[in-house]
Amino acid sequence: GEDVEQSLFLSVREGDSSVINCTYTDSSSTYLYWYKQEPGAGLQLLTYIFSNMDMKQDQRLTVLLNKKDKHLSLRIADTQTGDSAIYFCAESITGGYNKLIFGAGTRLAVHP
Amino acid sequence: ETGVTQTPRHLVMGMTNKKSLKCEQHLGHNAMYWYKQSAKKPLELMFVYSLEERVENNSVPSRFSPECPNSSHLFLHLHTLQPEDSALYLCASSQDRVTGPTDTQYFGPGTRLTVL
């Protein structure tokens, strides 16, 4: 079945790196996404990675994909208080339309 | 600003009321989605419209009724809701039937619904 799992909480010190992990089940997923949700807001697309890539870097964000283990991670370098939010991992399921399966979200808390 | 707007941002209604949520996208997309986000469950896909045709109804109770008059607008009509329907309702849009990152869904800010 389709399932995406994430740990629920992560607490880091300001300036440190944060690593948020995700596992998914559908090996046919073509794209995997990371979304960010700040309090009271909708989901903001952070980055995505195509399934034939191992790594993607975008400024402070690094996405690593281990397709064999179906494991996706998001690393945020030099984490700031503004990075405090809920981070959702999502996999795309191919079909008649773009269906995304979301994880439950990881709440990142950044403390001084 | 993602190019997807939702109104109202907050709504309080009684169980006997009828109200509607509105979503508008300015991205030229042809697929639109309604999601429900509550404290107890992760994001739940409710409805999907592709090319103005409903392609998925994810076992949603009939007290929620979607409407997609054109590819830029999506409504969710609400009637005789229950307190457990209180949640954040998110709208999203994407460019459907295209393979590639343009499949990406872009979300609106959501409507926070409270049913008394």
Neighbours of A46 (CB within 10 A): 17
Q: What is the average pLDDT value for chain B, to the nearest integer? A: 90
For B110, which DSSP code? -
Give the best residue of B2, B32, B104, B106 to mutate against chain A (max A CB count within 10 A): B104
Q: Do B109 and A41 touch (CB under 8 A)?
A: yes
Please give the average per-residue pLDDT across A44-56, as a whole number. Answer: 92
On the question of pLDDT at A1 being above 60, the answer is no
Q: Give the Cα separation of B67 and B2 in Å (integer).
A: 22
pLDDT for the residue B101: 59
pLDDT in tens, A4-40: 999 999 999 999 999 999 999 877 777 899 999 998 8
- CB distance A11 to A64 below 8 Å: no
Residues 6-45 of A with CB under 8 A from B: 30-31, 33, 35, 40-45
Q: Do B90 and A43 touch (CB under 8 A)?
A: yes
Please give the average per-residue pLDDT across B87-91, as a whole number. Answer: 96
Nearest chain B CA: its distance from A33 CA (Å): 8
pLDDT in tens, B39-83: 877 788 999 998 888 887 778 999 999 999 999 999 999 999 999
On the question of pLDDT at B95 being above 70, the answer is yes
A65-98 residues labelled b (16+ CB within 10 A) or e (exposed): beeeebebbbbbeebeeebbbbbbbbbbeeeebb
Please give the average per-residue pLDDT across A91-97, as a whole number. Answer: 73
On the question of pLDDT at A44 being above 80, the answer is yes
Which among A33, A41, A104 has CB closest to B104?
Answer: A33
Q: Give the Cα separation of B63 and B59 in Å (integer).
A: 12
Residue A77 identity: A
Residues of B in contact with A99 (CB under 8 A): 45, 48, 56
pLDDT band, residue B97 (cuts 50/70/90): low
